[in-house]
Structure 1
């Protein structure tokens, strides 16, 4: 299985509406990609590694799929709709990482 992590970099002007992300955006993604999506989750950044340090990412979303191919096939047809929804919850551009789930 693979995990698609959508990382939203933090900066002084970064905004992120976690309520919208969890209640509207993730369900939209799930509906569009259908059964290919095994699970999804979201994390809100709290702090960096040093005391008083801001988190590197204001938020992260994680999507689990069986394979890179299943993700690409399910996501590609809906990429524009999903990307267009970003303005409804954040003002930062996400960074995407696809990882193999070890263990």
Structure 2
């Protein structure tokens, strides 16, 4: 019985280890565009609209250069009794920065005009490269 349990645990551990290592390797080298919405009193953010309308609209502009996108809802600060730093973060993972810029440039006005539909916050944007 102990041997069977040991073998089962070994198999499960090996399975999860194999798949958890593949994901970072697949993302390495991608360009990551993080669009962060800072929290402050009186500011609003409509997550439902952002998820259903805004992010899919931008994703469509990015076309086949887009690998994936994620949406995060801020819950708390990493330090107790500190204010929430960001209400939300939208992240796009793309293959090429120049293709990203070429896709966003002609659609910049439409993207900015849509902000009023879900927030009264000016986002902070960080462009980075996934290294691991």
Give 1 or 2 for the bigger CA radius of gyration. Answer: 2
Query: Higher strand proportion, which one?
Result: 1
**What is residue 21 of structure 1 aligned with on the other side?**
50
Give 1:14 deviation, angstroms. 1.3
Once the two structures are superposed, residues 56-92 of structure 1 have per-residue CA deviations (whole angstroms, 9 ceiling, x without a partner) of: 0110000011121121111111111011100000000
List alignment gaps of at least 5 residues for structure 1. Answer: none
The total of aligned residue pairs comes to 103
Instruction: Output the TM-score relative to the length of structure 1.
Output: 0.94
C-alpha RMSD of matched pairs (Å): 1.0
1:81-92 correspondence to structure 2 within 5 Å: 81-92=110-121
**What is residue 31 of structure 1 aligned with on the other side?**
60
Instruction: Output the TM-score relative to the length of structure 2.
Output: 0.74
**What is residue 15 of structure 2 aligned with on the other side?**
none
User: Equivalent residue of 1:84, what SS?
Assistant: helix
Query: Higher helix proportion, which one?
Result: 2
In the alignment, is the contact (CA less than 8 A) between 2:32 and 2:129 conserved in 1? Answer: yes
Could you list the runs of 4 or more consecutive aligned residues of structure 1 that deviate by over 2 angstroms after TM superposition?
A: none
**What is residue 5 of structure 2 aligned with on the other side?**
none
Higher relative CO (Cα under 8 Å, sequence separation at least 6) belongs to: 1
Give 1:37 deviation, angstroms. 1.4
